[in-house]
Amino acid sequence: MHWWRIWKRLNAITPNPITAQINQATKVNPMPDNQALQTVDTELAPLRVQIDALDTQLITLLNERAKLAQAVGHVKQKYKQPVFRPEREAQVLEKIAQRNPGPLPSHHLQALWREVMSVCRAMEEAVKVAFLGPAGTYTEQAMAKQFGHAIHGIDCSTIDDIFRTVEADGAAFGVVPIENSIEGAINRTMDLLLSTPLKICGEVSLAINHHLLQITGDMSGVTTIVAHPQALAQCHHWLKEHYPHIEQKPVGSNAQGAQMAQNDPTTAAIASDIAAATYGLQTVTAGIQDDANNRTRFIVIGKQLCGTSPNDKTSLILATPNKAGALYDLLEPLAKHGVSMLRFESRPAKQKGWEYFFYIDFAGHIEQANVQAALAQLEDNSAFYKCLGSYPVTS
């Protein structure tokens, strides 16, 4: 007798309230007998034949696409040009959304295309990308969102290491967090941008969902909660309300914390569901961040300048001369040349008391005439000027 027949009989004797509820809610027979399965399969058979035929066509088309990417690779190699072209990929993704007749939602189709481009790119060369490790960090997730999975990820233990690895050509690109919707700017990234010769060549925005994780899902013996300081800050109110007496300990990354929790039942971690799966942890409570719309924006850094895409932004660091009205004068060229500002942040200039560096993002690409005119004037008006690059805007 099949196990589900035994289950059915048991249920007939003592109806299980949970299954009864599910059956009522879903109106699906949970234990179809062989005949029902056969009936379903018979009706599905012609649809499956069509799906198999389409898959065969898709395989052919995808391989045709890969061959073209290989040919592109040969041309790039001949002229010693970079394999990864973020502006071209942004263009491809934009066209996907424009041409999509549905019913597939454009953002799902775009996610598929990211992977298609990733494997096509890998036919030219697997791009090396430095990220904040170990495996399971949000930075790794952001890297996959930007580059797809067919890459060579190099895990670094600090943001400084990522900058150094890319500066020393250990990786072509690095992915680092720059700002969070709750906690604001990531200061270490901001400070390193000031001195690095690297450029910004892309950005990635990621929804951040923090979960409280422990090896068996039991908090009774837990004495320490570990996480990156940003994650601890983003869950501050929730932790204060639910675990006010458990010590909080900052660690290098949330994934590192998850790794620690894997080996120690007295330690709980705050990390993503990917980290939970990577380190075999149980979720004690899901979504513990204080703001449900918690997002982090990451930037892609590299030596490569980015061409124009359908929608670009440019990032600058400026300092004003020390005189009245200097900030107004500094920004006036943006308004004059019709350039709209997207972000304005300041960081103290550490060597000088109470002087600041201003980090400015605005819409447009450095190759556009109005942007060039505004930048020339901005540079004239500032005591310090550094252009960090132009790159495609992503949502």
Ligand X SMILES: C=C(O[C@@H]1C=C(C(=O)O)C=C[C@H]1O)C(=O)O
In terms of CB distance, is 283 or 311 closer to ligand X?
311
Which residue in the set 90, 93, 114, 121 belongs to the binding site for ligand X (CB under 6 A)? 121
Residues that contact ligand X, how many (by CB under 6 A): 10
94 burial (CB, 10 Å; 0-12 / 13-18 / 19+) is middle
In terms of CB distance, is 72 or 255 closer to ligand X?
72
339 and 365 in contact (C-beta within 8 Å)? no
In terms of CB distance, is 92 or 387 closer to ligand X?
92
* Beta carbon of residue 121, minimum distance to ligand X (angstroms, whole number): 4
Instruction: Assess 302 for contact with ligand X (CB under 6 A).
Output: no
Stretch that binds ligand X, among 21-29, 82-90, 201-209, 308-316 (CB under 6 A): 82-90
Tell me the residue length of the chain: 395
Distance of alpha carbon 197 from alpha carbon 195, whole angstroms: 7
Instruction: Assess 360 for contact with ligand X (CB under 6 A).
Output: no
Instruction: Assess 114 for contact with ligand X (CB under 6 A).
Output: no
* Beta carbon of residue 128, minimum distance to ligand X (angstroms, whole number): 14
Instruction: Assess 85 for contact with ligand X (CB under 6 A).
Output: yes
In terms of CB distance, is 96 or 373 closer to ligand X?
96
Which residue in the set 23, 88, 94, 196 belongs to the binding site for ligand X (CB under 6 A)? 88
Instruction: Assess 96 for contact with ligand X (CB under 6 A).
Output: no
* Beta carbon of residue 306, minimum distance to ligand X (angstroms, whole number): 11
Residues 55-74 touching ligand X, rule: CB under 6 A, are 69, 72
Stretch that binds ligand X, among 84-92, 204-212, 219-227, 302-310 (CB under 6 A): 84-92
In terms of CB distance, is 117 or 269 closer to ligand X?
117
Positions that interact with ligand X (CB under 6 A): 69, 72, 84-85, 88-89, 92, 117, 120-121
